[in-house]
Amino acid sequence: MTYIIMDLEWNNSYMKSTQKFINEIIEIGAVKLDEQLNEIDIFSELIKPVVSRKLRSRIKNLTHITNDDIKSGKPFSKVISEFEKWVGEDAVFLTWGDTDIRTLLSNIKTFLKKDDITFLRKYADLQRYCQCFINMENIQQAGLSYAAQCLQIDAEKFPHHRALDDSLLSAECFKKTFNAEKLKGFIKECNEDFYARLAFHPYVIKHKDDPLIDKNIFNCYCDICGGKVKTIKKWKFSNQSFRGIFFCENCNREFRVSLRIKKFYDYIDIKRNYTEIIRTDEKLEQKPQENT
Ligand SMILES: [Zn+2]
């Protein structure tokens, strides 16, 4: 068994044929480790893009890859078939966050007309795994260089933000935190469910009668006394959430409630926010007029 840690560079380009933007892969970098975590090989190839031959300045600045560099790259299909041979049969694949694997899949679908990544058998999100070893207070997701810093790895050794450098740095994070038992919980078989999850894009639910939502979540109570409230303005969907205005007779207060309901692959996330409403006419009464 081997561990393959992969990183990609891509260029966001507009595809006329689909009228959509695609993150077109321009570089694949990867490191292969054996079961004892010894580095046994590396992979690094530039890809000649077909959708856009001009790199966005963000990519040029970040990676220092030039338009001339990619011109001399190999075609995507050729690099993928070389990579497939290099990966071999019995690899656990790791990437920092799942964006790289999503991007690889979308490029394979678009350019090779295949529905899955044939050489991907087992996969783990290295970012999620490494976050178990990092104090995550105040941040939602640890960037690679932040994680390296927390794990006392010298990121300066891999300064280029190129695919190979970033995969080498990810490999350092992996080695530093390696725990076979813990890792098991993160390794996923790349089956139908895996691809369904990967292809799923979380979305905000916009209709009150959507069958996915329990109607009771629209019942509103005062967030201070917990009592029943009068509806002043009915629920209305705007700006990614349902909004309504309510009045609590017990507390003599009016408040706005916003409810954002988001569907993820296997759960629904509900965020409820209360905002006190202070009427302007009351404010004026309280404040002495300045100009009289
Ligand atoms: Zn109340």
pLDDT of amino acid 218: 94
CA atoms within a 13 Å half-sphere pointing along the CA-CB vector of 165: 14
Share of the chain above pLDDT 70, in %: 94
CA of 235 to the centre of ligand 1 (A): 19
Asked if residue 177 is part of any domain, the answer here is yes
Same domain, 184 and 252: no
CA nearest to 15, candidates 49, 52, 55: 52
CA of 254 to the centre of ligand 1 (A): 9
Domain boundary residue among 141, 165, 199? 199
In angstroms, rounded to a whole number, what is the distance separating the alpha carbons of residues 117 and 98? 14
Same domain, 133 and 10: yes
pLDDT band at 292 (very low <50, low <70, confident <90, very high): very low
pLDDT of amino acid 289: 46
Is the distance from CB of 149 to CB of 155 less than 8 angstroms? Answer: yes
Mean model confidence pLDDT for the chain: 91
Q: What digits encode the pLDDT tens for the residues 235-284?
A: 999 989 999 999 999 999 999 999 999 999 989 999 999 999 987 665 54
CA of 256 to the centre of ligand 1 (A): 13
Number of folded domains that form the chain = 2
Same domain, 183 and 212: no
CA of 232 to the centre of ligand 1 (A): 14
Domain boundary residue among 184, 199, 214? 199
Domain boundary residue among 152, 178, 199? 199
pLDDT band at 138 (very low <50, low <70, confident <90, very high): low
Asked if residue 292 is part of any domain, the answer here is no
Domain with 180, as residue range(s), is 2-199
Is the distance from CB of 23 to CB of 103 less than 8 angstroms? Answer: yes
Same domain, 228 and 241: yes
Asked if residue 65 is part of any domain, the answer here is yes
The whole-number average pLDDT for the span 71-86 is 97
Extract the tokens encoding 257: 């409630």
Same domain, 135 and 261: no
Residue 290 confidence (pLDDT) above 60: no
pLDDT of amino acid 259: 96
CA of 242 to the centre of ligand 1 (A): 21
Same domain, 110 and 213: no
Asked if residue 163 is part of any domain, the answer here is yes
pLDDT of amino acid 95: 97
Asked if residue 291 is part of any domain, the answer here is no
Asked if residue 290 is part of any domain, the answer here is no
pLDDT of amino acid 69: 92
Strands 188-189 and 122-125: antiparallel
The more confident residue out of 17 and 78 is 78
Asked if residue 36 is part of any domain, the answer here is yes
- List the CATH number of the domain containing 63: 3.30.420.10
Same domain, 32 and 100: yes
Residue 114 confidence (pLDDT) above 50: yes
